[in-house]
Chains A and B, each alone.
Chain A
Amino acid sequence: MTDNSRDTLIQLLHLSARYLDDSNHTSFLELFTKDGEYLISSYAPELADKMIWMRRSRDELEDRLAAVNEHEWEIAGIEQTRVLSVDVVSVTDNSARSSSSFSLFHTDAEGRSELYAVGRYEDEWAATKSVWLLSRREVQLKTRLLKLLSPLPV
């Protein structure tokens, strides 16, 4: 890929956050390769082990997002704002990795904002033709006691 891969990836990372903030699920899903994978993980100190909270293929994630309006999920109606800092981007030929820290704020219907969760996006990218796509995103949540549970991507 070209020399400006790094800048492109940083821009895509910020877009990935913006798409989720805007509930633009179609654009979010388009960031993934066809066989892309989306995971949410966290740590259980009581079990001294990592837990997988969600593991869905791109298609399975699409199914979940398509059903949003059929469920009663409070989180679907909450305004979200992600603040992202891209900490590491490493590019090798047609693949890349990036690691970003994020804070996710919620704003309720009355305009009250509060921090919902902090964590990292650990991403793997694949270059196809001239486009970078996510082959795997793992959201590593540091916040475990969530005020609202999230059947949706974080």
Chain B
Amino acid sequence: MPYRLDGHSQPDLPQSHYLDNRIYTDPVVFETEKKTILTDSWRFVCHASELQKAFDYRLVRVAGHELVLIKGEDETIRAFYNTCAHRGARLLRQPAGNLEGGRMTCFYHLWSFDNRGRCLTVSQPSGYKDSSVRRESTGLKEVRLDSVFDLVFVCLDDEAGSLRDFLGDSLIEAMRVPFGSASLEVFHLHRSEIQCNWKLFVETNCEGYHELLHLLNRNTAVSQQEYRSRQWRMHENGHLSFDPAKISYDKLDYAERAEGLLPGMEPNGHAVVNLFPDVMLNCRSTVIRIDSLIPVSPGKTILECRGLGVAGDSQSVRDMRIDHHNEVWGPTGVNLAEDIWAVQTQMQNMKEGSSRFSVIAREEEGPMSDGSLRNFYAEWSRITNLQPHHVEV
């Protein structure tokens, strides 16, 4: 007698409560996502503190495109395709830096541009005198950029609505502590190349059920009475927030997080906000982690993790924040290695078809409901026009 739920046969559940695992592996699904969600949505690219001085720049990657973010002398950050208007060479080639004299010169035929993308010089311009090519009407293609609480976002779609409309008032309110309560600064940035589909990592960041995986969360959160009343809150456009709660670090003999609190945070407090489609803002009292994803192919994702403290921290307070950050997160933290391992084993099985269906059927009041995942897939489906429970191949 075959089992009713075996990961191979279609589960006997409402369509919203299971997933066809080919959403993670099918190249057509990935291409559709690239053209829709990953292009049309506002995508987090960096924190404003990563561009401190005038003419500082950063290269970032969005939906396969390399963009350059430049801070102008007017303090405004602008985004452009990192592509020369002449014949498409890569304009800037270091991940970050400062533009000498506020200008950039393409290494191929030496056209130059200013920090607002305007063309300054066309080499040997006499060759263009009989054509329409003129310096004055040449420049870099700009990309829409906006920020909320110093979180910098870009949108490749010129027609999409504003960032504030995308995030919505209730989510911005949920982000206010700690993002709106202090001037923050990034002190840590590392990437991990994960052999999994980007959505699997999004899921691990927005479901409470897998806290059972982590020794830390089992002992300091799940086992606590208060934890059980924690709820995922659904906001417009697929965004989520997780009710703030207190973590009992003492249950695992970890140091309390009672000093050097980020403004507005409670001692040992924990707050999480998930921005659709692929960003997690996670705060543990004294320190913040921001995860964002760069989907590369159906089975490969770059995870970018930042750690943030308060601008102007004293050295001792900063050291404490760094230690708190590294204890749980970062490349040496107790949790991140576990999350990555989990999603990579899922992907391995899904890639080979050894696992065809996943269940997201938990219905309960509390942090372990799968409502957060169903909310993600409802929005995913709305934007891609694909069905998460059935992929046409």
Contacts and interface: CB of A to CB of B under 8 A. Distances in A.
25 contacts: A42-B331, A46-B96, A47-B96, A47-B186, A47-B187, A48-B96, A51-B187, A51-B190, A52-B322, A53-B332, A54-B332, A55-B323, A67-B334, A71-B334, A71-B337, A72-B341, A73-B338, A74-B337, A75-B337, A144-B190, A145-B191, A148-B337, A149-B333, A150-B332, A151-B333
Contacts of A71: 215, 334, 337-338
Contacts of B94: 45
A45 B96 contact: yes
B164 to A, nearest CB: 27
Interface string B269-289: 000000000000000000000
If over half of A's interface residues share one DSSP class (helix, strand or loop), that class is named, otherwise mixed; here it is loop
A70 B253 CA distance: 14
Interface of B: 50, 58, 94-97, 186-193, 213, 215, 253, 319, 322-323, 326, 330-334, 336-338, 340-342
A52 B341 CA distance: 23
Given A45-B94, A72-B338, A73-B338, A146 B331 contact: yes
Contact of B192 (A40, A48, A74, A149): A149
Interface in A29-53: 40, 42, 44-49, 51-53
Contacts of A67: 215, 334
Interface residues of A, number: 29
A147 B344 CA distance: 11
B51 to A, nearest CB: 10
A73 B337 contact: yes
Interface of A: 40, 42, 44-49, 51-55, 63, 67, 70-75, 144-151
A149 B332 contact: yes
B326 A55 contact: yes
Contact of B190 (A44, A70, A148): A44
Given A45-B96, A46-B58, 9 more contacts: A45-B94, A54-B330, A54-B332, A55-B319, A67-B334, A72-B213, A145-B191, A147-B193, A149-B331
A150 B337 contact: yes
Of A45, A149, A151, which is in contact with the most chain B CB atoms at under 10 Å from its CB? A149
